[in-house]
Chain A
Amino acid sequence: MIVCPYCHQELVEGTIFCPECGASLADEETRRYAEPASPPPAAPAQAAGSSTGKTTAHITPTQLRLLVLNSGRTIPCPLGEIMLIGRSDPSGGVFPEIDLGQDNGYMAGVSRRHARIVRRGDDFFLEDLNSMNGTFLNRNKLPAHTPVPFQDGDEIRLGNLVLRVIIEEYLP
């Protein structure tokens, strides 16, 4: 048995795409992420309990973090291909990977399903999900449902919440 790193479904050996969530299990990138002892080094909150002391230099080529300027919190982004940005709403079944609820997202006008980040290899794209108060990249409003590439140092604004993009390369 293998376990899908995204939805944790148990799958038969040789599965290439998870039938439950559609995630690719055969990508070189994905497999590296799926290794159990590979906590991202720039994710202190998550890595603290599971650190093995092993260098992650060979494991995570690119790490994305978002610094919320309003609250000063740094959000280590999970390693999925697609990350939803919004506010969690358990009763509505919305559980975004990047949850801005604790950054006062509601007051700042962040929708429950506001935007998403799509990762393709080492490239990242930001896509507005037709949010109420809009998604801005470097102060330009994004048209809904149109993924736009972004880079290290860029500024993302969701409603009135401003995030700074930090993309770090880990070279051996």
Chain B
Amino acid sequence: MERDIQVRCTPSRGQLPAIREQQLLYLLMELAPSGLDESQSRLPLDICMVLDNSSSMRGDRLFQTKEAARYIVNQLTPDDYFCLITFNDHATVAVPRQSVQANVAMREHISEVQASGGTEMARGMELALEQMLRAIAFSGVRRIILLTDGQTYGDENRCVELARQAQKEGIGLTALGVGDEWNEDLLATMAAHGNSRSEYIVNAEAIINLFREEMRLLQGIVAQEMSLAIRLSPGTCLQGLFRVVPEIAALEPHEGRGGALVVPLGEWMGSDAQGFLAELLLPAMPPGEQRLLQIEFSYRLPRERHPREVRHEVRLPAVSGLAKTADDVPEKVRRALEKVTALRLQEAAWREARRGNIEQATRRLEAAASRLLQMGEQSLARVVEQEAERMGRTGRTSAIGKKEIVYGTQRLGRHREHEDSR
């Protein structure tokens, strides 16, 4: 079986009602690797760790972080590159970017990292980028792993700018927050890109597990330079685009060549399936076959020079006299959309809270809790419910509660309803 990527598109309805008003259609796009040989997909890695060593990291947090850094170095081979930046009041290149020949020396440098001072994240990111951009013609996987436990003050915009610059260069970002003091809005914004992600680490003991998972993903690359382009037929609008597997996240397409809406997706890490959901607003439909849109996934398979493409045209018949409300929504589309609804409700709640509309924010959180309860997500629903109550009473959520909600919702994408489609 030739190795490649399979794409399957499932619309929320198999037939559209031919009506004179606008209607919504959802399109689930599922990607699965085929004929993939795991051993072939290990590509050279270029990893830059950017670690917060401010005084709040003292003790178990720093100890576990150094353990995790040593674990990463142990997993690397002489084909890989590694560098380590630490930041507190200033940033330091603890290990300059180099190929992993002498990992004993690297491990020693890691052990020497001490915690003190404040949190100046932008300087750390600047040094990371400076080191990473030294690479010439590196064809493997490039990634910055940022770990912080605190707020950075005054340089948030610069941090986002640097993250975007890295992403533009094809360097992915994994932004990790430990404990409950860090700024989830900042890390989430920095990671709001197709080839980046942010994660919440509840306590120091969980740090190593997250780094193990990161290495597992980095060591099995299905495709590189992935991007999704959507070409809409006249009158059709893309109202929303979301990643739904393995995480729930909103994606922001930009206008590309020929009017297509394009989202760069970076590397496909790990061999788990990927899923995307588009929300389309369709114009009035006369009866007959309707050409709605064309999707195009482009990617490069590991060790191949030329990019490949999978195209899919979505056409559906519009039929007169069809019930306006869809009664045959495929279960997997419904489930994906249910998770997206939970995401949208909590995002609306944070927006309302920022505007000072506490009552609206409370209602949105309550609605998100109800939706989660219907989905059988009892524990997350409970957190949302408690924070809704707190929001109504005090006008704000707890720092830890908000992180649990934001990252708990993101993780809904890992719950495996999509396995049947593999």
- Smallest beta-carbon distance B398→chain A, Å: 15
Complex: how many Å from CA A118 to CA B378? 12
Complex: how many Å from CA A28 to CA B326? 10
Give chain A residues whose Cβ lies under 8 Å from the Cβ of B13: 14
Give chain B residues whose Cβ lies under 8 Å from the Cβ of A13: 17, 19, 21-24, 324-325
Q: Is the interface of B mostly helix, strand, loop or mixed?
A: helix
Question: Which residue of chain A has its CB nearest to the CB of B21?
Answer: A13
- Smallest beta-carbon distance A34→chain B, Å: 8
Stretch at the interface among B34-42, B116-124, B338-346: B338-346
Contact B26 A16 (CB under 8 A): yes
Interface hub of A13, A19, A22, A118 (most chain B Cβ within 10 A): A22
Give chain A residues whose Cβ lies under 8 Å from the Cβ of B342: 22
Contact A12 B337 (CB under 8 A): no
Contact A147 B378 (CB under 8 A): yes
Interface hub of B334, B337, B341, B362 (most chain A Cβ within 10 A): B341
Contact A129 B378 (CB under 8 A): no
Give chain B residues whose Cβ lies under 8 Å from the Cβ of A81: 370, 374
Complex: how many Å from CA A39 to CA B308? 57
Contact B370 A16 (CB under 8 A): no
Interface size counted on chain B using CB atoms at 8 A: 40
Question: Which residue of chain A has its CB nearest to the CB of B374?
Answer: A81
- Smallest beta-carbon distance B182→chain A, Å: 27
Contact B22 A26 (CB under 8 A): no
Contact A92 B326 (CB under 8 A): no
Given contacts A17-B341, A24-B374, contact A2 B21 (CB under 8 A): no
- Smallest beta-carbon distance A6→chain B, Å: 9
Give chain B residues whose Cβ lies under 8 Å from the Cβ of A24: 338, 374
Complex: how many Å from CA A113 to CA B363? 13
Contact A14 B24 (CB under 8 A): yes
In-complex Cβ contact of B22 among A12, A17, A22 (8 A): A12
Which residues in window 316-375 of B have CB below 8 A to A? 324-327, 329, 334, 337-338, 341-342, 344-345, 348, 359, 362-363, 367-368, 370-371, 373-374
Complex: how many Å from CA A20 to CA B12? 20
Give chain B residues whose Cβ lies under 8 Å from the Cβ of A12: 21-24, 281
Complex: how many Å from CA A120 to CA B370? 12
In-complex Cβ contact of B21 among A1, A22, A82 (8 A): A1
Contact A14 B341 (CB under 8 A): no
**Scoring A residues 85 to 119 as 1 if CB is less than 8 Å from chain B, else 0, what string do you get?**
00000001100000000000000000001000010
- Smallest beta-carbon distance A91→chain B, Å: 11
Complex: how many Å from CA A19 to CA B25? 14
**Scoring B residues 372 to 410 as 1 if CB is less than 8 Å from chain A, else 0, what string do you get?**
011000100010011001001000000000000000000
Give chain B residues whose Cβ lies under 8 Å from the Cβ of A129: 385
- Smallest beta-carbon distance B96→chain A, Å: 50
Question: Which residue of chain A has its CB nearest to the CB of B389?
Answer: A113
Complex: how many Å from CA A3 to CA B386? 29
Q: A21-B363, A93-B363, A147-B373 are in contact. List 11 more A-B contacts (CB 8 A).
A: A2-B325, A12-B22, A13-B21, A13-B324, A16-B24, A16-B329, A16-B337, A22-B345, A81-B374, A82-B374, A118-B373
Nearest 9 interchain pairs by C-beta: A14-B24, A13-B23, A22-B371, A14-B23, A22-B367, A17-B341, A82-B370, A145-B382, A21-B367
Chain A residues near B (Cβ < 8 Å): 1-2, 12-17, 19-26, 28, 31, 81-82, 92-93, 113, 118, 120, 129, 145, 147
Chain B residues near A (Cβ < 8 Å): 12-13, 17, 19, 21-26, 281-282, 324-327, 329, 334, 337-338, 341-342, 344-345, 348, 359, 362-363, 367-368, 370-371, 373-374, 378, 382, 385-386, 389, 392
Q: List 8 A-B contacts (CB under 8 A).
A: A12-B23, A13-B17, A14-B12, A14-B25, A17-B371, A19-B341, A26-B329, A129-B385
